[in-house]
């Protein structure tokens, strides 16, 4: 029997990865990464001297097409397979990453007249400049007792669709009016490949306040937010919402020729990257929590119960695996937090030593930090360098490091930041469990488990739980390929369901991280202190972080020409 393959396309923060997978057993045949030529645009608009304000993060959508054009032919070429054997394509994307497009689906930033308009570009998931709008959405929803609010733990985020779209309307009404619709980037790539203008239930459910039976928030709600938003859903969010795990459409002849694939190849409904990572880690049963550990950390938890509680930042029925409730929580800076320290906080002598040993600064600091015992650094941090996504849902919070002395060394700070990330995760797990949603099993995936063993051990020690690691190092792209294989369906040689496909195409490693009880005792004590800081700075009315941000913004405005 001829082998059948699926392609998973994983759009991350900095690059896109294409993975060719044997659908029989999940064997990863070939992979190729294309870095986005424009990367994350957070300082200056491309080819212009327009400076962006703090908290902005944009992208150029042509970079997404560059991934398709380069990486798909590259995997076909390096694998040497017959393209006819590729039966399905799945696409996952960071979210909420959104762009305004015209009637034909062309991004407004491609149009000459809008090239110098920041609001015409893609707003990346970590664009946090719509906090003002998010605050007003939350106040209005609370005042009107909007039923959707409890599904998101009582607060919506500045990262999500409505806040971002409203920011466009407030700051660039011309762009808002010109936009035929505002799309998730996942749906936009699906549109390019298939010409089907559909929306993913996963993106709509987690990021656009949509519910399977209730739909979007009411017209009255949008009218109360801002009369100009009254028809927001019918206009800017138009498009049929298709269920995760279904086929969005088929590859057009034009794209088939560009990619070297067969026209008519099944393309799956788009999925959020972290959620694809859950399927790619084999998590398809209630009680399993997947931690997608990379630039950020997303926690995906499956349950047969729907519980609404403060601090749980999103529950969507069928949101990760059809038939179960999918919960999402997260920390918006984890790898990025360690990366920030390595780039901005490390003295030259560390870089020289790391280079002398022929290892990265991360690996060098990990080696030194491993020699330290829990609590030995005398330091404690709040991991909010990119705001807090769970359980406080507030992008205006910022990082904190306590306990420094003249003896503090770079490895102390590095270890303290790894611990802070782990404390943040413990807080999330405890919030779920206190609300009555069980966490029975932790499975880690993403780039970090591969790169930093100390981090993983600290996560096990701090949470007091065993941490399994998904076998694939590319679980997100593998997850996307699984959705591609299901979109193709059994009749084309794919699968009927995500559960069946994931059980055939994924596995976890033999080796896991088990908590060291001596370390866990110390971490219990440190966690109590973490919690005190968390409550004080997060919801104790001690709003120094917000005051600093206000002053900073004012000064930035005065300084800008
Ligand atoms: N050895 C390391 N230890 C900890 N963090 C690391 C290490 N090497 C790289 N990082 C961080 O990992 C992040 C990239 O993670 P990765 O999983 O590749 O990306 P993404 O989340 O975009 O898919 C960066 O933020 C980088 O700072
Ligand atoms: O917000 C989500 C998922 O909800 C992610 O897309 C976002 O955190 C980006 O994740 P990574 O860049 O892949 O770490």
Convert 357-395 to b/e letters by CB count within 10 Å (16 or more is b): eeeebbebbbebbeebebbebebbbbbbbbbbbbbbbbb
Q: Return the CATH number of the domain spanning residue range 327-469+516-559.
A: 3.30.420.40
User: From CA 14, how far away is CA 220, in angstroms rounded?
Assistant: 39
How many angstroms does the Cα of residue 395 sit away from the middle of ligand 2?
15
List the Cα angle 204/477/421 in 5-degree steps.
75
Q: Find out whether 310 and 391 touch, Cβ atoms under 8 Å.
A: yes
Which ligand is in closest contact with the Cα of 334? 1
Dihedral in degrees, nearest 10, Cα atoms 139, 141, 142, 143? 80
| CATH 3.30.420.40 domain residues, the chain | 5-282+473-505, 327-469+516-559
CA 507 to each of CA 32, 83, 278: distance values in angstroms, whole numbers, following the listed order: 22, 26, 12
Pick the CATH number of 5-282+473-505 from 3.40.50.460, 3.40.50.360, 3.30.420.40, 3.90.950.10: 3.30.420.40
User: From CA 2, how far away is CA 269, in angstroms rounded?
Assistant: 26
If you take atom 7 of ligand 2, which residue's CA is the nearest one? 94
pTM of the model: 0.89
For ligand 1, whether the C-beta of 217 sits within 6 Å is no
Q: Is 387 helix (H, G, I), strand (E, B) or coil?
A: strand
Q: Strands (DSSP E) along 36-157, which ranges?
A: 58-59, 86-93, 98-101, 122-123
How many angstroms does the Cα of residue 356 sit away from the middle of ligand 2?
34
User: From CA 160, how far away is CA 180, in angstroms rounded?
Assistant: 19
Q: Is 362 helix (H, G, I), strand (E, B) or coil?
A: helix
How many angstroms does the Cα of residue 121 sit away from the middle of ligand 1?
25
Helix (H) or strand (E) holding 348: helix 348-357
CA 66 to each of CA 23, 52, 119, 263, 298: distance values in angstroms, whole numbers, following the listed order: 26, 24, 22, 19, 26
pLDDT of residue 502: 96
Give Cβ neighbours of residue 53 (< 8 Å, ≥ 6 apart): 129, 553, 556
For ligand 1, whether the C-beta of 14 sits within 6 Å is yes
| Count of beta carbons in the 10 Å neighbourhood of residue 176 | 22
State the burial class of residue 24 (Cβ atoms within 10 Å of its Cβ: 0-12, 13-18, 19+).
middle
User: From CA 376, how far away is CA 409, in angstroms rounded?
Assistant: 12
Q: In ligand 2, which atom is closest to the CA atom of 476?
A: 13
List the Cα angle 58/62/64 in 5-degree steps.
80
Q: In ligand 1, which atom is closest to the CA atom of 15?
A: 22
- Of 102, 64, 75, 101, nearest to 189 (Cα)? 64
For ligand 1, whether the C-beta of 448 sits within 6 Å is yes
Q: Find out whether 206 and 314 touch, Cβ atoms under 8 Å.
A: yes
For the chain, what's the residue count?
A: 561
User: From CA 210, how far away is CA 78, in angstroms rounded?
Assistant: 41
Q: One digit per residue, pLDDT tens: the chain, 561 residues?
A: 689 999 999 999 999 999 999 999 999 999 999 999 999 999 999 989 999 998 999 999 999 999 999 999 999 999 999 999 999 999 999 999 999 999 999 999 999 999 999 999 999 999 999 999 999 999 999 999 999 999 998 889 999 999 999 999 999 999 999 999 999 999 999 999 999 999 999 999 999 999 999 999 999 999 999 999 999 999 999 999 999 989 999 999 999 999 999 999 999 999 999 999 999 999 999 999 999 999 999 999 999 999 987 777 789 999 999 899 999 999 999 999 999 999 999 999 999 999 999 999 999 999 999 999 999 999 999 999 999 989 998 889 999 999 999 999 999 999 999 999 999 999 999 999 999 999 999 999 989 999 999 999 999 999 999 999 999 999 999 999 999 999 999 999 999 999 999 999 999 998 999 999 999 999 999 999 999 999 999 998 899 999 999 999 899 888 876
Pairing of strands 441-445, 467-469: parallel
User: From CA 219, how far away is CA 203, in angstroms rounded?
Assistant: 20
pLDDT of residue 561: 65
Helix (H) or strand (E) holding 482: helix 475-488
Q: Is 243 helix (H, G, I), strand (E, B) or coil?
A: coil
Candidate of 9, 13, 205 to mutate for ligand 2, largest count of ligand atoms within 8 Å of Cβ? 13
Dihedral in degrees, nearest 10, Cα atoms 322, 296, 198, 220? 90
User: From CA 189, how far away is CA 476, in angstroms rounded?
Assistant: 17
Give Cβ neighbours of residue 152 (< 8 Å, ≥ 6 apart): 209, 312, 313, 314, 393
Q: What is the end-to-end Cα distance of the chain in Å, rounded?
A: 67
pLDDT of residue 121: 98
Q: Is 303 helix (H, G, I), strand (E, B) or coil?
A: strand
- Of 316, 314, 317, 320, nearest to 282 (Cα)? 320
Taking every pair of Cα atoms in the chain, the longest distance, rounded to a whole number of angstroms, is 69
pLDDT of residue 308: 87
Please give all residues whose beta carbon lies within 6 A of any atom in ligand 2, as ranges.
12-13, 94-95, 125, 206, 272-274, 294-296, 298, 328, 330
Q: Find out whether 224 and 144 touch, Cβ atoms under 8 Å.
A: yes
Helix axes 517-539, 453-463, angle to 10 degrees: 80
CA 58 to each of CA 116, 124, 176, 345: distance values in angstroms, whole numbers, following the listed order: 13, 5, 16, 25
Q: Strands (DSSP E) along 335-374, which ranges?
A: none
Residue 387 φ/ψ, nearest 5 degrees: 80, -175
Q: Is 408 helix (H, G, I), strand (E, B) or coil?
A: coil
Bridge partner residues of 297 (DSSP): 293, 331
């Amino acid at each position: 029997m001829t082998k059948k393959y699926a392609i998973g396309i994983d759009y991350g923060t900095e690059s896109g990865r294409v993975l060719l997978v044997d659908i029989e057993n999940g064997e990863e045949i070939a992979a190729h990464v294309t870095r986005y030529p424009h990367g994350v645009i957070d300082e200056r608009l491309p080819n212009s001297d327009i400076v962006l304000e703090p908290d902005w993060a944009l992208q150029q959508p042509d970079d997404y097409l560059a991934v398709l054009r380069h990486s798909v032919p590259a995997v076909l070429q390096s694998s040497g397979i017959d393209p006819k054997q590729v039966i399905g394509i799945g696409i996952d994307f960071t979210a909420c990453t959104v762009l305004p497009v015209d009637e034909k689906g062309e991004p407004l930033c491609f149009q000459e007249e809008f090239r110098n308009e920041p609001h015409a570009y893609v707003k990346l998931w970590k664009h946090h400049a719509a906090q003002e709008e998010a605050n007003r959405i939350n106040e209005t929803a609370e005042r009107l007792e909007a039923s959707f609010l409890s599904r998101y733990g009582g607060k919506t985020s500045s990262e999500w669709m409505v806040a971002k779209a409203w920011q466009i309307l407030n700051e660039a009404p011309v762009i808002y009016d010109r936009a035929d619709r505002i799309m998730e980037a996942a749906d936009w790539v699906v549109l390019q490949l298939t010409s089907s203008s559909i929306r993913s239930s996963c993106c709509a459910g987690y990021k656009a306040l949509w519910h399977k039976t209730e739909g979007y928030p009411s017209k009255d709600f949008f009218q109360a937010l801002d009369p100009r938003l009254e028809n927001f859903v019918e206009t800017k969010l138009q498009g049929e919402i298709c269920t995760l795990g279904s086929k969005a459409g088929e590859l057009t002849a034009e794209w088939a020729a560009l990619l070297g694939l067969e026209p008519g190849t099944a393309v799956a409904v788009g999925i959020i990257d972290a959620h694809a990572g859950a399927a790619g880690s084999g998590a398809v049963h209630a009680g399993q929590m997947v931690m997608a550990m990379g630039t950020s950390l997303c926690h995906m938890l499956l349950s047969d119960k729907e519980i609404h509680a403060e601090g749980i930042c999103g529950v969507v029925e069928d949101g990760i695996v059809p038939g179960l409730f999918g919960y999402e929580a997260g920390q918006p800076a984890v790898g990025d937090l360690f990366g920030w320290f390595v780039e901005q906080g490390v003295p030259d002598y560390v870089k020289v030593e790391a280079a002398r040993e022929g290892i990265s600064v991360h690996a060098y600091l990990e080696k030194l930090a491993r020699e330290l015992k829990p609590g030995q650094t005398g330091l404690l941090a709040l991991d909010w360098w990119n705001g807090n996504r769970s359980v406080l849902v507030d992008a205006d919070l910022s990082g904190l490091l306590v306990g420094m002395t003249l003896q503090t060394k770079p490895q102390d700070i590095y270890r303290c930041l790894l611990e802070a990330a782990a404390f943040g995760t413990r807080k999330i797990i405890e919030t779920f469990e206190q609300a009555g949603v069980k966490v029975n099993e932790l499975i880690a995936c993403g780039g970090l488990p591969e790169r930093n063993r100390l981090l993983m051990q600290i996560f096990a020690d701090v949470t007091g739980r065993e941490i399994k690691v998904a076998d694939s190092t590319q679980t997100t792209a593998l997850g996307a390929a699984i959705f591609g294989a299901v979109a193709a369906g059994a009749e084309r040689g794919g699968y009927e369901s995500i559960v069946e496909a994931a059980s055939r195409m994924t596995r976890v490693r033999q080796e896991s991280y088990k908590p060291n009880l001596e370390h866990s005792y110390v971490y219990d004590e440190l966690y109590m202190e973490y919690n005190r800081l968390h409550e004080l700075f997060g919801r104790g009315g001690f709003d120094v972080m917000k005051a600093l941000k206000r002053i900073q913004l004012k000064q930035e405005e005065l300084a800008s020409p």
